[in-house]
Amino acid sequence: MIFMGLETRHVPVMVPECLDALNVHPGGRYIDATAGEGGHSNAILKASEPGGQVLALDADPEAVAVASARLSKYGESFMAVNANFRDLRITALRHDFVPVHGVLLDLGVSSLQLDREARGFSFRRADPLDMRFSIDQRVTAADVVNTYSQNELADLIFHLGEDRAARRIASAIVRNRPLETSLELAAVIEKASPRRGSKIHPATRTFQAIRIAVNDELSALETALQQAASLIGLGGRMVVISYHSLEDRIVKRFFRQESADCICPPETPVCICDHKATLKMLTKKPGTPSEAEIESNPRSRSAKLRSAERI
């Protein structure tokens, strides 16, 4: 399918597992908080027929346009909104979409973003250093790369990219500034931290760190998880697919906290927090893609699925 010059080509990850974890049923109402090109939304709508509804959010207006065109056949059963999932609750309330039977968050970067020129998400082309999910955001990857101090860059790459070569990479970036394209940045990183037989490109972790910083992704995730839990009715499900340890840690910690009747520190002799469990964890260990899916869609290889039920 072609829409606005864009081809729908993103392959949604772990679709059967998502439908099962969400417990999708006919007539259910679901929120796809990270719509992308609408792959998961399409699967949910099919599984929830007749009468199913999906409200989809995405910070990227191009993704919203593609998903809306692709799923127009569902009419009023599907609605796509240009909004960051940090605004999940107000968006759902605005569209009278509360309560819901399930919320899905797929935290991966879509093929639309990775493959689209002028975004700078990919280190395989000479695209401008942007990396914003939405053009309304002020800070770009170029701002981070060309204005952060060497120490700030090193800390960012170490903490958000979990790259042990962070200081060496930060030093190389500063020495070679200004950098204008993703290809230039990737070349500087590869020279500072050679591949040495690894299948993973040396720039992968640095690009991840910069993208997370530009879009304030971890803070947005924490906010979205809290809001999603408040929108789900009793017995409803939350499903989150993460792609790196920073995200997975946040999701795991949130589910554990909301599944506990007490969140006082272990050294507290008597509970004083009056916290009551609102969720029941359904995944002690995260689900992962099958070998067949990884072979057909290599971008799924790092996916981890966690789910919880509203109680």
Give pLDDT tens digits for 25-84.
999 999 999 999 999 999 999 999 999 999 999 999 989 999 999 999 999 999 999 999
| Together in a domain, 225 and 90 | yes
Residue type, 32: D
Using CA atoms, how far residue 87 sits from 81, 82, 127, 174, in Å, is 11, 10, 29, 35
| Together in a domain, 39 and 184 | no
Q: What pLDDT, on a 0 to 100 scale, did the predictor assign at position 299?
A: 85
Q: Cβ contacts of residue 92 below 8 Å, gap of 6+?
A: 31, 55, 98, 100, 231
| Together in a domain, 186 and 241 | no
pLDDT tens-digit map of 222-235: 999 999 999 999 99
Q: Which of 58-72, 123-137, 166-180 has the lowest average pLDDT?
A: 123-137
| Together in a domain, 183 and 38 | no
Cα separation, 287 vs 302, whole angstroms: 11
Q: Which of 10-24, 133-147, 171-185, 269-283 has the lowest average pLDDT?
A: 269-283
Q: What pLDDT, on a 0 to 100 scale, did the predictor assign at position 246?
A: 96
Bridge pairing between strands 304-310 and 6-7:
unpaired
Range(s) of the domain holding residue 14: 2-112+217-310
| Together in a domain, 20 and 105 | yes
- Percent share of the chain, pLDDT over 70: 94
The total domain count for the chain is 2
| Together in a domain, 173 and 233 | no
Question: What are the structure tokens assigned to 164, written together?
Answer: 């042990």
